[in-house]
Amino acid sequence: MALVVRPARRSDAAAMAELINAIIAIGGTTAYEESFDAESMDAAYISLPQLVSCFVAEDDGEVVGFQGLMRSFDPDDPLPDGWATIGTFARVGLTQRGVGGALFAATLEAARAAGIDVIDATIRADNTGGLAFYSRQGFVDYDRLVGVPLKEGKPVDRIRKRFDVAR
Ligand X SMILES: CC(C)(COP(=O)(O)OP(=O)(O)OC[C@H]1O[C@@H](n2cnc3c(N)ncnc32)[C@H](O)[C@@H]1OP(=O)(O)O)[C@@H](O)C(=O)NCCC(=O)NCCS
Which residue in the set 30, 114, 138, 141 belongs to the binding site for ligand X (CB under 6 A)? Answer: 30
Regarding 138 and contact with ligand X (CB under 6 A), the answer is: no
Which residue in the set 5, 88, 116, 163 belongs to the binding site for ligand X (CB under 6 A)? Answer: 88
Regarding 87 and contact with ligand X (CB under 6 A), the answer is: yes
Regarding 72 and contact with ligand X (CB under 6 A), the answer is: no
How many CA within 13 A on the CB side of residue 45? Answer: 29
Nearest to ligand X of 87, 116 (CB atom):
87
The CA distance from 78 to 37, in Å, is 26
Which amino acid would we find at residue 151? K
User: How far is CA 136 from each of CA 26, 121, 150, rounded to the nearest angstrom?
Assistant: 24, 13, 27
Q: CB-based burial of residue 136 (10 Å sphere; 0-12 exposed, 13-18 middle, 19+ buried)?
A: exposed
Which residue in the set 43, 132, 145, 150 belongs to the binding site for ligand X (CB under 6 A)? Answer: 132
Regarding 97 and contact with ligand X (CB under 6 A), the answer is: yes
Which residue in the set 22, 23, 114, 156 belongs to the binding site for ligand X (CB under 6 A)? Answer: 23
The answer to whether 17 and 36 are in contact (CB under 8 A) is: yes
Which residue in the set 13, 44, 51, 130 belongs to the binding site for ligand X (CB under 6 A)? Answer: 130
Which amino acid would we find at residue 117? D
Contact stretch for ligand X (CB under 6 A) within 35-43, 90-98, 138-146, 150-158: 90-98
Q: What's the closest the beta carbon of residue 87 comes to ligand X, in angstroms?
A: 4
- 33: how many CB neighbours lie within 10 A of its CB? 10
In sequence order, what are the beta bridge partners of 90? 65
| Interface ranges with ligand X (CB under 6 A) | 23, 29-30, 65, 87-90, 95-101, 123, 127, 129-130, 132-133, 136
